Structures are given as C-alpha cells and as structure tokens.
Structure 1
C-alpha cells in the first residue's frame, strides 16, 4: 500500500467529507482546518473569523488504488471554483476553496487540473481556487466527523437549501457531482 494525504478546502467540510469517503482506495476522511497560523483552532473560532483557517478535509488514501488525479476530479465537482467569497450559502473567508498540496507532484497535478478546468469552458468566469502548500491540519471536533451520517436528515436539507445540490446538478448533471 502506498499511503498518501490530500487536503482540500471546499466550503462546508460536511459536504466535502461526504464526497470522498466511499471512493475505492480512500482509507479515511477527517474534517478540520488548515491555512491559519493559530494552533488548535475550534470550529467556533474559525466560523467567527477569529483565525485565518479554512474548513477543509484531509484524506488518507492508497495511491495504488486511487490517484491524486482521481481525488482532484472529485473535488472540482463539489465546488463552485469561480467564487472567492465562500461557497453557496456559506459565505466568508473560512468557506473559500483551496487545494493544499503535500509535495511537488501534487502541486503540478493540481495546477494542471485547474488549467484544464479553466480551458474547458464549463465555467464562464475564471477559476479562483487557490493552490497552496499544506499547513498544519487540525482535526475538527468529533461532532463534525461523519456529520452527514450522524445527522443525515439535517445534512440533506442543509445541502439542498445551501444551493450546492442545485448548482452541482446544473453544472455536472448530478446532485453530488459524482
């Protein structure tokens, strides 16, 4: 097994988490925070803008089964990469989109995928998702882990009302960008 890490910020981490957990080769997904300098931020601190962290997920995966390119493809289909002020109903810095790379190969693959998406013409506005070196990742509180399964009814309502599902269906033809 070739175990690697991927870290993505895509707005609400509950929605991004759910997109990755059932992919063959994904070992685990954790909701958390990256991008800020403060150590051990809480959800409340991040949500209130008291840190420079973004909500994100960190994925442990077997690169012999699932490639980083595969994960990038899933990521792009979960977000509006043209919105630099948040995602859907979730507004603010901590809901921006970012790909955090763990090594030079990931950086190059992320840059290539971003350029390809921009050139595809799928979006009429420029792709603004940043690609940055990973910073320390801090796991969110337990109640945020697997939130979509622990609180499925609320989660499904939240996704729908946020506008995420309608956007993904319009752009990709599926509710969850699959």
Structure 2
C-alpha cells in the first residue's frame, strides 16, 4: 500500500512535467515581428499572403505619445513610425526568412521616407524585441551590405521595440476592403517600380 501511495503522486508529477513540456513546445512557434516599411497598407499586403504568417496588424510605434491617432501621427511630430506587427509560425517560416524578404519589399536607401510618402512616419526600421531578434536583424543587414545589387548606403534602422498601438479599424486590411483605391495608390506612388529598379524584381508579386 505504501508503494502504491508513493508512486501515484510521482506519476502525477511526471504527467504534469510532460504536459508542461508539451505546452512549452506548442507555445514556442508563434512569434511576432515588427517592421516599418512606409505606408502600412502596403506592408500589410506584402506580408499577409506569406505562408506561415497568421495575422498582420497595422499600427504605430516608436513615438512619445500614448494611443496616437492616424491624424496625430501623420503630422510627423509624434515620433511614431507607421508599423506593422506580423504574427507568424516559426515552424513554417523563420524570422530570418521574413527579415530577408522585408528588405526586398522596401527602398532601404531612402532617409526621408518611402516612395511618394515622405516624413518621419514613413521611414523604414526593424524593431527587435529581444537579443535573439537583434542578432538575426544584424546578420541579415550584414549579408545585405555584402551582396546588395546597388551602390547606395542602407539607411534602415535597427531599433529596440517600443509599445505597439493598433491603428484604426479602417486601416486594417485596407487593400482587401478597398482594392481599387489601394491599387491606384500603390501604382501612383511608384512603389513597385522603385523596388524593381533596386532589386530587379518585386518580391511580393510571388504572392499576388
């Protein structure tokens, strides 16, 4: 009877340990990546179709004002970037793959903004949430500098992440809610033309 009494809690502890281990494995894959690539409508449309990406949220980060609105940020004096928060499954697509893809969806040589959008909110950046992300970003940037197909300097910053504020509902998945207006904006802004000039291809077209 004593042996039976002792073994039952031990087995329970083993089961609990196993459950905790499985829980850690299950929760290890989902991650988030924060990037600024100019107009967040465009960055969202570039990343949402990527396999392994489960959600992309447009928003603001990096500034000194809590809960900023689009009107406040667009004036350019709050310090915020237009940012997207990318939720992805690391078992399907790695942070390194997404980072390398990010470079080819932007003009990393423009210090004033992106394409037809100029000003502080439209500058490019990668925001690291921990040391591991920073190491991935730094390595990707080093590879880019060694192999970039153009001579201009890379000015995209690698910055520590700050609080992310989701943008207003009408900005979320704007390209699917207003495809004609979005398509006209992207074309008239010259985004894809400039990307093709820099990189020789438009990386996001593989998903459209």
For structure 1, the 5+ residue unaligned runs are: none
Q: Give 2:155's aligned residue.
A: 128
Match in the other structure for 1:86:
113
Matches within 5 A, 1:8-157: 8-157=35-184
2:192 corresponding residue in structure 1: 165
Take 1:24 and 1:71, find their aligned partners in 2: how far apart are those partners?
10
The one-character-per-residue Cα deviations of 1:60-116 (angstroms, maximum 9, x if unpaired) are: 111111100111122111110011110000000110000001111110110111111
Higher relative contact order, structure no. (Cα contacts within 8 Å, ≥ 6 residues apart): 1
Q: How many residues align?
A: 178
TM-score (norm 1): 0.95
User: What secondary structure sits across from 2:204 in the alignment?
Assistant: coil
Tell me how far apart the structure 2 counterparts of residues 26 and 123 of structure 1 sit (CA, whole Å).
29
Compute the displacement of 1:44 (Å).
Answer: 0.6
The change in CA–CA distance for 1:177 and 1:129 in structure 2 (over 3 A counts) is farther
Which of the pair is proportionally richer in helix? 2
Give SS of 1:176's match: helix
1:50 and 1:121, CA in 2 relative to 1: closer, same or farther beyond 3 A? closer
Confirm or deny: 8 A CA contact 2:101 2:203 kept in the other structure.
Answer: no
Structure-2 separation of matches of 1:110 and 1:119: 14
Please give the root-mean-square deviation of Cα atoms over the aligned residues, in Å.
1.3
Give the CA deviation at 1:118: 1.3
